[in-house]
Structure 1
Amino acid sequence: MQVVGYETGGVGEGGDGSGSGDGSVSSAAGGLYVAAAGDVEFVEAAPGTDLSFGLGERRCAGTVHDGGHVPCNADAAPYCDAHSSVWVCARCTGTCLKDEMDCHEEHAMYLAAFAPDTFKVGVTRLWRLKTRLREQGADRAAHVRTFPDGRVAREVEAELASGPDLVDRVRVPTKLDGFGRAVDGEAWAALVDRFDPIERFDFEYGLALDERPVAETMAAGTVRGWKGRVLVLERNGSTYAVDARELVGYELTETVPDRDLQSSLGAFGG
């Protein structure tokens, strides 16, 4: 079986998924898409699930088309040049990079906070706002502007991202540095108040982390939950953070290797 994709934890309005509309967000089941002999199945990785896979060779994950998997033997991972794709809209700064502009629907501009003090400005289609924030694993967020189309939104985003206090992308290692830490509330409030926000969000992922988990690439352990595309696992008394994208392309084996793993402080009783 080869990992060919992943699904991050789901989202529901209200801390208990009740749809209360208070802006809080809770996590649900995520998982891995695995392929064998052309078929694709979903391996659920919900909180409490025990995963027991080793990692074999890694190569290009190929492509999934009409529900089936087309494999690729190229060594490049997670995708070779023939199967990699770039979403050009993410590079847009107001001058469309497509042959024909197609972002004519309403777009939301948002601010997202990643603990302790990394603040991002971003743009997404209005109807995808909460999903997009959850996909990134933001700790807090605010919807600050609504634009009639994506072109104008990207122009304003690029201008704000060129300033000293906002970025337009946050890498996974930076996000991991904030796991188990709180957002600088004073700095966040000062930033958001400059924009007279339309709506604010507080995100709760149910991870209950007292410290930063150890970054690892593995698929064995008890699932604690998801934060964005990061899968948090418990194993042998330690907590690990796995970037799900780093699993794509690996062959899963039934034998879990008994190799040395870096331990978190919690494994030693604090």
Structure 2
Amino acid sequence: MHVSNILWRETPEGEFERGLHTWSSGEQKPYFLKLEKGQRIAWTIRGPKTCVGYLDRDMRLNPCPDSQSISKSKIRCGPCSAMDYIDACIRCDGRVCQAQPERWERCKNTEYAVYSAVFKTGAIKVGVSSLRRVRTRWIEQGADFAVIIQKIRGGKAARQIESKLGRLRGITKSVRASTKAKHLLTPLAIDEAYSKIAEFSKLAGLPVPEDSSLADLSSFYNIPELDSLPKPILKRGSPINGTQILGSVVGLKGPLLILSLDGTYTYINSKRLIGYHIDRDSEVRVINQTGLSEFI
């Protein structure tokens, strides 16, 4: 099973399903592996890291024709990056558009949201998303509170605003997964989050949003109160090939997959799985935790 992405899918009821977007051997259509609370997993991660494929103009994911091996910092090979419909948009900073002409036309006529998100780390992050999926974008990142600070037509203009705001003192455009994990037990009340947003808005010379517009995202993660901080399954820079992931799913907060085994919590940045294969059938040989008998 080849992992191509981590997905949060909104349901008709306005809730979210979370899981892995995967390729199975010989299949031409990707599969969504849902991760549900209490689900037991016993995975072994296999390398090498290989290309996840490319999105076509209909936003359908296609497999890499050559299953090309790639470096750990990439998710696509060169040819698939060139064919991918939105690859240039992901790297866009609002200066020069490098998207395909058809994509550029669609981008110009799409409504975007420039947003501010607050994390338990204390960080205030600015970002851009198409307006229709802005809440999904917040949840993908594991934000605790977020608000739209400006709506604008055209992705290039939105990126220019993001770039300008991101240079302000105390503002970031990314928060490390390991930092998010260290603050899973840190409290953050909505009035404190709103105070941070108001302070940022004044610094940026923007109207202060109404407090009612600040979205509390905690209910979407559905993570119970933890009595201890989860320990990392993989430390930064550690090789992922051969890593074993074992436990019952506690929840997914943004990219953080939190597991429990006999009262011990662990986590992994699920984005690190992208491009690797998961072996769900192999015997788990080396486990530094108790409770293995529940899984064999």
TM tier, smaller: 0.7 to 0.9
Which residue of structure 2 lines up, in the alignment, with residue 212 of structure 1? Answer: 229
Is 1:126 aligned with 2:131?
Answer: yes
| Structure 2: distance between partners of 1:41 and 1:176 | 28
- Compared CA separation, residues 175 and 69, structure 1 to 2 (3 A): same
Which residue of structure 1 lines up, in the alignment, with residue 171 of structure 2? Answer: 166
- Compared CA separation, residues 30 and 155, structure 1 to 2 (3 A): same
Bigger shift: residues 156-165 or 83-92: 83-92
Bigger shift: residues 237-246 or 188-197: 188-197
Whether the aligned pair in 1 keeps the contact of 2:24 and 2:31 (CA below 8 Å) is yes
Aligned ranges 1:118-197 → 2 under 5 Å = 118-183=123-188, 188-193=193-198, 194=201, 195-197=207-209
| Structure 1: distance between partners of 2:120 and 2:278 | 33
Q: CA deviation at 1:203?
A: 0.9
| Structure 1: distance between partners of 2:13 and 2:31 | 29
Whether the aligned pair in 2 keeps the contact of 1:114 and 1:140 (CA below 8 Å) is yes
- 1:9-60, CA deviations, whole angstroms, 9 ceiling, x for partnerless residues? 4446xxxx955xxxxxx55342352422346543322111111222334331
Structure-2-length-normalised TM-score: 0.72
Residue 226 (structure 1) aligned to one of 252, 277, 280: 252
**Structure 1: stretches of 5+ with no match in the other structure:** 20-25, 263-270
Whether the aligned pair in 2 keeps the contact of 1:116 and 1:182 (CA below 8 Å) is no
- 1:152-185, CA deviations, whole angstroms, 9 ceiling, x for partnerless residues? 2222211111111211222222222222222375
Bigger shift: residues 104-113 or 90-99: 90-99
Residue 48 (structure 1) aligned to one of 20, 24, 38: 38
- Compared CA separation, residues 3 and 220, structure 1 to 2 (3 A): farther
Whether the aligned pair in 2 keeps the contact of 1:27 and 1:225 (CA below 8 Å) is no
| Structure 1: distance between partners of 2:19 and 2:264 | 21
Hey, which of these two has a bigger chunk of strand by percent? Answer: 1
| Structure 1: distance between partners of 2:179 and 2:33 | 28
| Structure 1: distance between partners of 2:70 and 2:95 | 35
AA at the equivalent of 2:96: C
Which residue of structure 1 lines up, in the alignment, with residue 238 of structure 2? Answer: none
Aligned ranges 1:1-270 → 2 under 5 Å = 2-11=1-10, 19=14, 27-38=16-27, 40-63=30-53, 69-70=63-64, 72=67, 74=69, 76-77=71-72, 79=75, 81-82=77-78, 85=81, 87-98=87-98, 100=101, 101-102=104-105, 103-104=107-108, 105-183=110-188, 188-193=193-198, 194=201, 195-197=207-209, 199-204=213-218, 205-208=221-224, 209-217=226-234, 218-248=244-274, 249-252=276-279, 253-260=281-288
Which residue of structure 2 lines up, in the alignment, with residue 22 of structure 1? Answer: none
Structure-1-length-normalised TM-score: 0.78
AA at the equivalent of 1:219: I
Q: Aligned pair count? A: 251
- Compared CA separation, residues 74 and 106, structure 1 to 2 (3 A): closer
AA at the equivalent of 2:264: S
SS of the residue 1:182 aligns to: coil
AA at the equivalent of 2:78: A
Q: CA deviation at 1:140?
A: 0.6
**How many percent of aligned residue pairs carry the same amino acid?**
22
SS of the residue 2:197 aligns to: helix
Hey, which of these two has a bigger chunk of helix by percent? Answer: 2
- Compared CA separation, residues 91 and 60, structure 1 to 2 (3 A): closer
